[in-house]
Amino acid sequence: MEPREFFIEDRLERFRLKAFCNLGESGLGHFRLEEVLEMAKISFSDLADIPMNDAPNQGSLELRRTIAALYPGVSPEQVLVTTGTGEALYLAFHMALKPQTKVALIWPAFQALYEIPKMLGAEIIKVPHEKAFLASTWSEIDADLYILNHPHNPTGKTFSDWEWNSLITEFREKKRQVLFDEHYRFLPGEGFIGRTGVDTNHSFYGTGSFTKCFGVTGLRVGWLVAEESFLKRARSFKDYLTHTVSPISERIALGLLNAKESFLPKIQSRVRKNIQSFDSVWKELPYTESFTTPAGGLVGWLKLKPGISSEDYADKLFEKTGVFVLPGINFEEEGFLRIGFGEREERMNEGLLRWKECTDLI
């Protein structure tokens, strides 16, 4: 079997590089290499000294130590460096799933979170986002693997402290197998870094990255965190895929993670200001009905008036204003738009002004 067309990525490929104001992406607007090296406190001469052999298949020990430090009780041996979070998810699903496995996840969802399990013969249990952030909802669901993507893409929702603690306690007591997809952990609604559910002592696996949050998606660095036996199988499977991550990407990744305290607050401020700007004007945007301010991450879920095609709306908005948004139909949910908040502030404000003034969209 093979997965279906990747609706989201296909549309991103067609529009993201042409947009005047990019509100369709789920990552921070990119930095140039020169800026990235400055953020990572690396010089060009540092890169010139890197030997261009294969990096270790599991990832360099130094990078794995730095990633492991992001998770309580995790050792470098429990970290596998991957080519983006996409590979980490692909590996995790192949290790954890068999045909007829029941997989429960928050709906709507990023396509890879359910398309790969479906390809492997799993049964998908969709947990609507309106009730997915209540612990009591999950206690009623019988599944073999639970996927918690938080902060959630595409809605920007996450759990309150009480609901989170209740859910984690229940999962531990019932010995559930859980995959925590925590790509936006570096952009919590408050504070410097968000919570994690990863616990290698309880089959609580984790996938993560910093690339979307730091504006460096081109580095293609992610990771999988799990107990050693699970990770050993995943590492062997990785030999059939990318085998290793570029040593250049690994070196820059290490620098960025070690220096994050110096630049991440500015990024977090930019994203939060963009969310505030959007929250203050969305009611003035034509044919919009509701919007819930994201509790974390880089994206939000804007509801359109009933009967409007999200794809037609998005196409016309781009054609008339240069503003790119992602239609909800790409998440297999009609009547919504996913809004990204990683654009430069001045472009974000100009884009919203153009959008407000464009009433001929349906």
Q: For the segment 81-103, what is each residue's pLDDT rounded down to a tens digit?
A: 999 999 999 999 999 999 999 99
Residue 139 has pLDDT above 90, yes or no: yes
pLDDT at 56: 92
Across the chain, what does the average pLDDT equal?
A: 96
Closest CA relative to residue 106, chosen from 87, 84, 86, 124: 124
Closest CA relative to residue 24, chosen from 34, 14, 38, 36: 14
CATH number for the region 7-32+263-355 comes to: 3.90.1150.10
pLDDT at 362: 80
- pLDDT, tens digit (0-9, with 9 covering 90-100), for 173-230: 999 999 999 999 999 999 999 999 999 999 999 999 999 999 999 999 999 999 999 9
pLDDT at 134: 98
In whole angstroms, give the CA distance from residue 326 to residue 25. 8
Angle at which helix 247-281 crosses helix 61-68, to 10 degrees, equals: 30
Domain boundaries, the chain: 7-32+263-355, 46-260
- pLDDT, tens digit (0-9, with 9 covering 90-100), for 242-293: 999 999 999 999 999 999 999 999 999 999 999 999 999 999 999 999 999 9
* Percent share of the chain, pLDDT over 70: 100
* Paired tokens of 17: 């590089």
pLDDT at 31: 96
In whole angstroms, give the CA distance from residue 148 to residue 150. 6
Band of residue 144 on the pLDDT scale cut at 50, 70, 90 = very high
Summarize the confidence of residues 130-143 as an average pLDDT: 97
- Compute the radius of gyration of the chain from its Cα atoms: 20
What is the full DSSP assignment across 274-323?
HHHHHHHHGGGSTTEEEE---SBSSEEEEEEPTT--HHHHHHHHHHHH-E
pLDDT at 343: 96
Class of domain 46-260: alpha beta
Q: Do domains 7-32+263-355 and 46-260 have the same CATH topology?
A: no
- Answer for the pair 326, 11: CB distance below 8 angstroms, yes or no: yes
